[in-house]
Amino acid sequence: MSSNTPTARLARTLMLDTESPLHDLEAIIRSRTPLIAVESNEEPQIVTLVRQIAARMELAAFRWTVTEGLQAFDPNEQPAQSVLKSNEVLSYIKNSSKNSMFVLLDFHPYLQDAVHVRHLKDIALSYTKHFSTVVIVGYAVQMPEELKPFTAPFRLPLPTMDELRKIVFDAAAEWGGEHGQREVETTNKAMDLLVRNLVGLTATDARRLATKAINDDGVIAESEMPGVMRAKYELLGRDSPLSFEYETAKFSDIGGMARLRQWLEVRKSFFTDGNQPNLDPPRGMLLLGVQGCGKSLAAKAAAGIFGVPLLRLDFGVLYNKYYGETERNLRKALETAEVMSPCVLWMDEIEKGLAVGDDDDGLSRRVLGALLTWLSERRKTVFVVATANDITRLPPEMVRKGRFDEIFFVDLPSAKNRQNIFEIHLRKRNHLPAKFDLPVLTEASDGFSGSEIEQAIVSAMYTAHAQGRELSQPDLISEIRQTRSLSVVMAEKVNEIREWASGRTVPCD
Ligand SMILES: Nc1ncnc2c1ncn2[C@@H]1O[C@H](COP(=O)(O)OP(=O)(O)OP(=O)(O)O)[C@@H](O)[C@H]1O
Ligand SMILES: [Mg+2]
């Protein structure tokens, strides 16, 4: 297999060990690799690199495109006759007797064709006769299995922070040029944020996003960053099992959880104030607790408070949609999250994804292992919010100290918090809380979860509406009386969770 040929191994080592793309590519060429596959949308940059390397190594260099055929960079080296077709260029290379470099642009569709594949293989096998290197460049280059042993992959390194800063400055200058040398309006902080948010993108994509951010109004403002991050996610996350959650929450949407709120507030500056070299990045929290009491809501509020994107990892999707490729897709999801950092990565109901069973050939155990390793080793600011209801199905390794900064227990709301939840959900539906006797409602809903309180309000509104009335206190009371709350139906289970949580977790109130 290609990934284990000496050439590929060498290429990989070179890619990891050195910084400069020129140096890397030259090293691959000097290692006598007949074929180089470059996946990149930075065509001009690759072509320039090849020209520079050819000049340094004193090789002839050619470029081929389907529209213009084969052209030498040096006019003296121009082929005697036109070499236009894809199979003609391959014959030309095979028969050339001089050390040369050939860059084939947009050649990837031809890699599906058996004749082309055979030609390329012949070129590779007769390498010692012509010493010519073929560089195939495309956005996606899928090398056929037959060619993989002769191919070294090459990737351009992503732009550094300084290069990204230059990209933003260039985009601003370009906008200024088009608008009578007007200056782009911005602040240092907004500039820094924009540059930071472009990390992980290729130069072309970064340029596109920077231009988009500036072009609408000639302003780079902090308030534009959520839009930038969304656009970035669209470029990166298309085929990952992560989803971008557009809806975050404010803490004013949540009744109670004062301690959790305080805990998050203290960590907020890490996300909002830029570089904090003296502080360890917050790693995340695990929220355990009773169903319907606001765990998912709190995950959304964490992203809202920090002002960063919220990405959700759905274990159901991880296991089903990509059947057979679960581990690779987990890796991909975690990589995307790192590129999107700083962000909140929300893993909802982890016990469902990680419960270790005997019936999956150890897959969930391997996924758990990969996740735990990542949780302890990740370097980027990815704040993980994991939630779980069923603590008995949660692997013990997950709750061990050190994986998360804190494990919070989300209990049924106290009387004070229930009152608060009534107020929030009444107001949300345009009812003045003052028109109701809240202490009575609070008392009547003892043992209700936040979700059950919300449901009672929703149902009571339907009843009132059906009778052509405004919502009233008796509607609510009657609805509450009819509800058999989970804490009653599942009293044992709730007690079990509470018992487990005491001593192991911190209450979020
Ligand atoms: N503390 C709360 N304050 C305000 N609303 C709440 C609260 N708890 C729950 N709710 C309401 O109930 C809905 C469901 O709650 P949420 O999904 O956050 O609970 P959960 O703990 O994640 O439940 P599950 O374990 O079933 O996933 C929320 O969208 C919100 O409208
Ligand atoms: Mg939930």
CA distance 460 to 443: 17
Residue type, 431: H
Mean pLDDT to the nearest integer, 161-181? 92
Is the pLDDT assigned to residue 323 strictly greater than 60? no
Q: Where along the chain do its domains lie?
A: 2-154, 161-236, 245-410, 415-489
Q: pLDDT grade, residue 28 (50/70/90)?
A: very high
How much is the pLDDT for 466?
A: 96
Nearest to 24 by CA among 150, 201, 161, 153: 153
Is the C-alpha dihedral spanning 371, 375, 380, 382 positive or negative?
A: positive
Closest atom of ligand 1 relative to the 348 alpha carbon: 27
* Nearest protein Cα to ligand 1, atom 17: 296
Closest atom of ligand 1 relative to the 451 alpha carbon: 12
Structure tokens at 291: 């169903």
Structure tokens at 102: 């050939």
Distance in Å, CA 291 to ligand 1 centroid: 8
Nearest to 307 by CA among 342, 280, 331, 259: 342
Q: In CATH, what class is 415-489?
A: mainly alpha
Closest atom of ligand 1 relative to the 424 alpha carbon: 4
Structure tokens at 221: 């403002």
Q: What are phi and psi of 341, to 5 degrees?
A: -65, 150
- pLDDT tens digits along 287-307: 999 999 999 999 999 999 998
**Parallel, antiparallel, or unpaired for β 35-39 and 60-65?**
unpaired
How much is the pLDDT for 189?
A: 87
Q: pLDDT grade, residue 182 (50/70/90)?
A: confident
* Nearest protein Cα to ligand 1, atom 4: 254
CA distance 102 to 137: 11
Q: pLDDT grade, residue 1 (50/70/90)?
A: very low
CA distance 341 to 419: 37
Closest atom of ligand 1 relative to the 293 alpha carbon: 8
Q: In CATH, what class is 245-410?
A: alpha beta
How much is the pLDDT for 322?
A: 54
Distance in Å, CA 349 to ligand 2 centroid: 7
Distance in Å, CA 387 to ligand 1 centroid: 12
CA distance 410 to 295: 7
Please tell me if the domain spanning 2-154 has the same topology as the one spanning 245-410: yes
Distance in Å, CA 454 to ligand 1 centroid: 9
CA distance 266 to 263: 5
Q: Say whether 502 sits in a helix, a strand or coil.
A: strand
Closest atom of ligand 1 relative to the 253 alpha carbon: 4
Structure tokens at 146: 């037959």
Structure tokens at 155: 């990737």
CA distance 184 to 186: 6
324 alpha carbon, distance to own chain's centre:
21
Q: What are phi and psi of 77, to 5 degrees?
A: -100, 5
Distances (CA, A) of 77 to 69, 74, 83, 293: 14, 6, 13, 74
**8 Å CB contact between 410 and 298:** yes
Distance in Å, CA 229 to ligand 2 centroid: 25
* Nearest protein Cα to ligand 1, atom 11: 451
Candidate of 424, 427, 451 to mutate for ligand 1, largest count of ligand atoms within 8 Å of Cβ: 451
Mean pLDDT to the nearest integer, 60-68? 95
Mean pLDDT to the nearest integer, 133-162? 91
Structure tokens at 157: 């390194």
- pLDDT tens digits along 338-391: 888 889 999 998 888 877 666 667 778 888 888 989 988 887 889 999 999 887
Q: pLDDT grade, residue 12 (50/70/90)?
A: very low
**8 Å CB contact between 168 and 210:** yes
Distance in Å, CA 324 to ligand 2 centroid: 27
Average pLDDT, the chain: 88
How much is the pLDDT for 10?
A: 44
Nearest to 451 by CA among 190, 272, 276, 254: 254
What is the dotted CATH code of the domain comprising 2-154? 3.40.50.300
* Residue recorded with tokens 């929030």: 424
Candidate of 252, 296, 483 to mutate for ligand 1, largest count of ligand atoms within 8 Å of Cβ: 296
* Nearest protein Cα to ligand 1, atom 1: 255
**Parallel, antiparallel, or unpaired for β 60-65 and 100-105?**
parallel
How much is the pLDDT for 508?
A: 93
Nearest to 426 by CA among 486, 484, 473: 473
Nearest listed ligand to the Cα of residue 294: 1
CA distance 259 to 239: 37
CA distance 99 to 61: 9
DSSP for residue 340: T
* Residues, CB within 5 angstroms of ligand 2 (ion): 295-296
How much is the pLDDT for 50?
A: 95
CA distance 435 to 100: 85
How much is the pLDDT for 504?
A: 86
Distance in Å, CA 382 to ligand 2 centroid: 20
Mean pLDDT to the nearest integer, 233-253? 83
Q: pLDDT grade, residue 399 (50/70/90)?
A: confident
Nearest listed ligand to the Cα of residue 288: 1
What lies within 8 Å, CB to CB, of 255 at 6+ separation is: 294, 413, 417, 418, 419, 420, 421, 423, 424, 450
pTM: 0.75
Is the pLDDT assigned to residue 284 strictly greater than 80? yes
CA distance 341 to 237: 13
Nearest listed ligand to the Cα of residue 450: 1
- Alpha-carbon Rg for the chain, nearest whole angstrom, is 30
Count CA atoms closer than 13 A to 424's CA, side-chain side: 19
Q: pLDDT grade, residue 324 (50/70/90)?
A: low
Q: pLDDT grade, residue 321 (50/70/90)?
A: low
- The pocket around ligand 1, CB under 6 angstroms, is made up of 254-256, 291-297, 387, 389, 413, 421, 424, 450-451, 454
DSSP for residue 505: B
Is the pLDDT assigned to residue 172 strictly greater than 80? yes
Distance in Å, CA 248 to ligand 2 centroid: 14
As a three-state string, the secondary structure of 163-199 is: HHHHHHHHHHHHHHHHCCCCCCEECHHHHHHHHHHCC
Strand partners, 189: none
Mean pLDDT to the nearest integer, 41-48? 90
Max Cα-Cα span within the chain? 95
Nearest listed ligand to the Cα of residue 429: 1
Distance in Å, CA 280 to ligand 1 centroid: 30
Q: pLDDT grade, residue 9 (50/70/90)?
A: very low
Nearest listed ligand to the Cα of residue 300: 1
Cis ω for the linkage preceding 342 (within 30 of 0): yes
Tell me how crowded residue 10 is: count the other CB atoms within 10 A of its CB.
16
Strand partners, 64: 70, 104
Q: pLDDT grade, residue 107 (50/70/90)?
A: very high
How much is the pLDDT for 193?
A: 87
Tell me how crowded residue 124 is: count the other CB atoms within 10 A of its CB.
17
Distance in Å, CA 296 to ligand 2 centroid: 4
- pLDDT tens digits along 430-479: 999 999 999 999 999 999 999 999 999 999 999 999 999 999 999 999 99
How much is the pLDDT for 16?
A: 38
Distance in Å, CA 447 to ligand 1 centroid: 14
* Nearest protein Cα to ligand 1, atom 23: 292
